[in-house]
Every structure is written in C-alpha cells, then in structure tokens.
Amino acid sequence: MPPIRGYATKGPTSKLEPFAFERREPGPHDVLIEILYCGICHSDIHQARDEWGGAIFPMVPGHEIVGRVTRVGSKVTRFTIGEPAGVGCFVDSCRVCGSCKEGLEQYCEGPIVFTYNSTEKDGKTPTYGGYSSHIVVDENYTLKISPNLPPANVAPLLCAGITMYSPLRHFKAGPGRRVGVVGLGGLGHMAVKLAAAMGAEVTVFSTSPSKEPDARRLGAHEFVMTKDPQSLAALANRFDLILDAVSAPHDLNAYLNLLRRDGALALVGVSPKPLEVNAFSLILKRRTLAGSLIGGTRETQEMLDYCAAQNITSDVEVIPIQQVEAAYARTIKGDVRYRFVIDMKTL
C-alpha cells in the first residue's frame, strides 16, 4: 500500500503538519476506508498536547471518522466497495474478556486498541487516526453509516453522539423522565437532541445566557443559569438523570442535590482536577454518582441507526485541514456551535 497522507503533531508543543506514514495491508477481515470527514473532539487536543499523559508521538489524531469503503478483505461479509462506513474511538479489543463478550468493548479489560495514540495488539505498532486519507479496520469494529444523512454531520456521532446516547439508554431516559444536561457544547448539544427524541423532559444548565435560544431549538424544555443559586434551589429533588459534560472543576454537589430519590448523575466530561463529593448529597436520597465511556460497537451501531431513523445529526462547522490549529484554539474557547469537522478532501 502506498504511503498514507495525514496531519500529525511531533510533540506536545508542536503544531499539526503534513505527515506521511504506512498502514498495514488489508487482511481477510479488514476494510480499507477512504476518509471523507473527521470530527475534532476536545480529547484530540488533550492528547495531542499530552495533557492526559502517555502520549505517543508522532500522533495523528481523529476518532470521528466517516468515509467510503474502497477495498474489502476476502472474508469480509458486512461491507461492499463503495459503501459508506464509520470508525469510532477504538479499532480492536481483546475480544475475550467479559466486557467484550457482552458487546461493551469500551470497557475491555485489555488490551483495547484505540483509534489513535495507542498501539496495536502487538503492543508496539502505533495507531494513527482520522486526520488522514485512509484507514484500515477490521470489519467487526467498523460501523455502517446511513447514506440518507449528511456525512459531515454524522462524523461527531462516532464519539459525541455515542458518549451521550449510552448513559441515556443505560439510565432509561424516556417519556415521564426528567433529564438535565450540564454544559451545552459538543457533547451537551447531542445530549439534548437525543434525550428530547427519546421523549424525556430536558433541562439545560449553562453559564452562558446566550445559549438559551439554541438550547430550546435543540429540544430543551427548560434553561437554567447555573450562576443563580435560587434557580438551582427551586429544582431540588426533581431530576431522574443529569448528564454532566463539563471538563473543568465545578461543584458536583449542586447537581447531586437536584436529583430525586434514586436519581443518577453521570459524568461524561473529564475534569483536570479531582471533584469533591459530600457524602450526604448521595446518602440522603440513595443517589448514584456514575461515569460513562462512549459505547461498544453494538450500541454505537444502534445509536447510528436510531439517529438515522430520527434524522438526528450533529451541528457542525466544516473546515479544511489547513485550519486545524485555528479550530483547536476556538474549541478551547468554546467558540464553535457545536463541533468542527475536517473535510479530508482538502488534505
């Protein structure tokens, strides 16, 4: 296979720049995908700048991948040449642990192979992500994409979409349930769309009053300013589920106290510092503080099918690859509504 074109960073203080690299020849169970669009996830920035530690350089980020199958292995049965296909946050797993056998590969007990900044199961070969022209993936870790939805808007579903869909399903969001969404960003806006489509009553919590019109357009029934203690106090013991998408230090107890008895606060954002929890915030109403990580291949495909049936996609701003550094800077500032997607034809 000829060298793959991509964009990589060579270190935590380096800019993303053109980078040529090798991918494996497709094996019997592999598909070769020409990448058409790749979303920019905030985790791309964290990892490219080694803010979580353990970064592998050079790094080609990108795990919200939508493209077209251009080659299939001899034993591939799920895909044909020319078919749209997607790749999410991981491209392989151990396949034998309890989580993998239950279709929850995101919780694989090891080794899981992430789409980038990881190593193949040999423990040595680095993985390179979607800021590139092509990717080779086992068909069992490849997702089917509806041809009826705009592919650029579908790309963020492979991370942002499934990150919110999974806890909504796990905690049974639906008619008669009250769901809160903390933070209306790349993750939060998908939570609002999905929870509203499932029939839940949705409330958005935000520090930005300018986001209220968008929150209601996306499907929220209520909008609450988190800087107003009286507004929060009036909602005590109200919610069945709150999805917390904030990736900065904040007061969890303020949201735990909004949960009804047996309600759950699910963390999907990653604070850089530990968050304090008052035991009474949990004990007095048998509340649950939980976390949730993306979804397995089965649930991710379920989410994609659900979004196709409900005509749900992400709100995006499509950019050429040459603007990726500017997009990173704007993402950090929250200056995007609500997800950047790279048009890989500009590579």
Q: What pLDDT digit, counting tens, does each position of 293-347 carry? A: 999 999 999 999 999 999 999 999 999 999 999 999 999 999 999 999 999 999 9
Same-domain pairing of 280 and 304:
no
Could you tell me if residue 226 is left (phi over 0), alpha (psi between -120 and 50 degrees) or otherwise beta? alpha
Q: What pLDDT does 228 receive?
A: 85
Name the domain boundary from 291, 319, 337. Answer: 291
Same-domain pairing of 74 and 146:
yes
Nearest Cα to Cα of residue 69 among 29, 35, 43, 93: 35
Q: What is the domain extent for residue 107?
A: 4-159+296-346
> Tens digits of per-residue pLDDT, 207-219?
999 999 999 999 9
In 14-112, the DSSP E strands lie at 17-21, 30-39, 65-72, 84-87, 90-92
Instruction: Decide if pLDDT at 112 tops 90.
Output: yes
Q: Whole-angstrom Cα distance, residue 292 to residue 245?
A: 11
Per-residue pLDDT, averaged over 224-232, amounts to 90
Same-domain pairing of 187 and 304:
no
> Tens digits of per-residue pLDDT, 263-284?
999 999 999 899 999 999 999 9
> Tens digits of per-residue pLDDT, 146-186?
999 999 999 999 999 999 999 999 999 999 999 999 999 99
Q: What pLDDT does 15 receive?
A: 97
Same-domain pairing of 254 and 332:
no
Q: Could you give the angle at the alpha carbon of 183 between the alpha carbons of 219 and 190, nearest 5°?
A: 45
Same-domain pairing of 246 and 280:
yes
Name the domain boundary from 253, 269, 291. Answer: 291
For the chain, the domain total comes to: 2
Q: What pLDDT does 227 receive?
A: 87
